[in-house]
């Protein structure tokens, strides 16, 4: 029997912003106070395969949306030895602006996306009020165009991307959000992306403020818990605590990249 392929997993922080607790919980938080938000891309690496999860936003978008930009995600990946121009697999957890802004930085990649997510952003609600603010139209257009070059892999619910790494659609935050399950030396890690922005969302069973469907958000928490080997195997999408709970990915990378497993 073939041995299970296992992966090293990294989180690379590329931007941050000041924020308050009340912004991060559905219907707010009675104990308001500072609660900053970090922005990450992730990578899973084995001797055979490199998979990047999400692509972050650009410096121009950071300036327009008043985020503090640290470095381009491709440069952050370069600091842990990943050459973005050679990466063959980029999983897109969903198409919100902070996850898919640098797709042209991965010219060799196939983009793995939930069919429901791209359908939503080419559908009749995309331009409406609260939804319109969540994407950069150019990012959606990029994927539509690259689909004609056969660079988009559409997923319905669940798929295996490379041996052992699977994606799973969860509802609640976006039409087609997917989480990523990775076999590692310490067990099954789940890159939850915006299924839980912070540890507090899933640990306290309190959905993030930006919700399409509240019951599905709770179901997403349950799915993430079931996929991970333990609560300590769940990696939230935007929590600065990720940078504290895990060691730097290498010398000089404190505050830039951590090794999760």
How many Cβ atoms are within 10 Å of 205's Cβ, its own excluded? 11
Closest distance to Zn ion from the beta carbon of 119 (Å): 20
Taking CB under 5 A as the criterion, the residue among 43, 194, 224, 235 binding Zn ion is 194
Segment interacting with Zn ion (CB under 5 A) among 41-49, 96-104, 167-175, 228-236 = 96-104
Q: Give the SS3 label for residue 112.
A: strand
Retrieve residue 200's tokens.
């507090």
Contact 190, 224 (CB under 8 A): yes
Contact 236, 199 (CB under 8 A): yes
Closest distance to Zn ion from the beta carbon of 5 (Å): 28
Q: Give the SS3 label for residue 236.
A: strand
Beta-bridge mates of residue 261: none
Could you say which DSSP state residue 86 is in?
Answer: G
| Residue position matching structure tokens 């983009």 | 111
Q: Measured from the CB atom, is 185 or 241 closer to Zn ion? A: 241
98 binds Zn ion (CB under 5 A): yes
Q: Are strands 152-155 and 158-162 parallel, antiparallel or unpaired?
A: unpaired
Continuous H helices in 122-227: 129-132, 137-147, 199-203, 214-227
Q: Measured from the CB atom, is 38 or 98 closer to Zn ion? A: 98
Q: For residues 190 and 181, give the distance between their C-alpha atoms in angstroms, rounded to a whole number.
A: 4
Segment interacting with Zn ion (CB under 5 A) among 6-14, 91-99, 101-109, 169-177 = 91-99
Q: Measured from the CB atom, is 117 or 194 closer to Zn ion? A: 194
Q: Measured from the CB atom, is 188 or 210 closer to Zn ion? A: 210
Distances from the Cα of 176 to the Cαs of 33, 85, 96, 121, 183, in angstroms? Answer: 31, 26, 11, 10, 23
Number of residues that bind Zn ion (CB under 5 A): 2
Closest distance to Zn ion from the beta carbon of 238 (Å): 6
Q: Tell me the HSE value of 21 on the side-chain side, using a 13 A CA sphere.
A: 8
Segment interacting with Zn ion (CB under 5 A) among 82-90, 149-157, 193-201, 203-211 = 193-201
Window 215-234: residues binding Zn ion (CB under 5 A)? none
**Total number of residues shown for the chain:** 261
Q: Measured from the CB atom, is 139 or 194 closer to Zn ion? A: 194
Segment interacting with Zn ion (CB under 5 A) among 25-33, 60-68, 103-111, 194-202 = 194-202
Q: Measured from the CB atom, is 8 or 190 closer to Zn ion? A: 190
Closest distance to Zn ion from the beta carbon of 99 (Å): 6
Residue ranges in contact with Zn ion by CB under 5 A: 98, 194
């Amino acid at each position: 029997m073939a041995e299970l392929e296992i992966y090293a997993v990294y989180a690379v922080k590329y931007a941050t912003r000041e924020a308050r607790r009340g912004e991060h919980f559905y219907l707010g938080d009675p104990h308001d106070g500072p609660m900053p938000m970090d922005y990450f891309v992730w990578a899973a690496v084995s001797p055979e395969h490199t998979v990047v999860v999400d692509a972050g936003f650009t410096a121009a978008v950071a300036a327009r949306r008043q985020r503090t930009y640290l470095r381009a995600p491709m440069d952050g990946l370069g600091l842990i030895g990943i050459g973005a121009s050679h990466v063959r697999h980029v999983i897109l957890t969903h198409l919100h602006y902070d996850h898919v802004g640098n797709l042209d930085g991965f010219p060799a990649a196939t983009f793995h996306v939930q069919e429901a997510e791209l359908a939503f952003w080419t559908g009749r609600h995309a331009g409406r009020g609260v939804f319109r603010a969540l994407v950069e139209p150019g990012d959606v257009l990029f994927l539509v165009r690259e689909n004609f070059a056969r660079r988009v892999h559409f997923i319905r619910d669940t798929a295996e991307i490379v041996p052992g790494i699977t994606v799973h659609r969860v509802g609640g935050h976006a039409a087609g959000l997917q989480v990523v399950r990775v076999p590692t030396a310490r067990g099954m890690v789940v890159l939850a992306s915006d299924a839980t922005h912070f540890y507090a969302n899933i640990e306290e069973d309190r959905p993030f403020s930006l919700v399409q469907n509240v019951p599905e958000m709770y179901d997403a928490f349950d799915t993430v818990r079931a996929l991970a080997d333990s609560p300590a195997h769940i990696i939230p999408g935007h929590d600065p605590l990720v940078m504290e709970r895990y060691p730097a990915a290498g010398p000089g990378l404190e505050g830039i990249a951590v090794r999760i497993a």
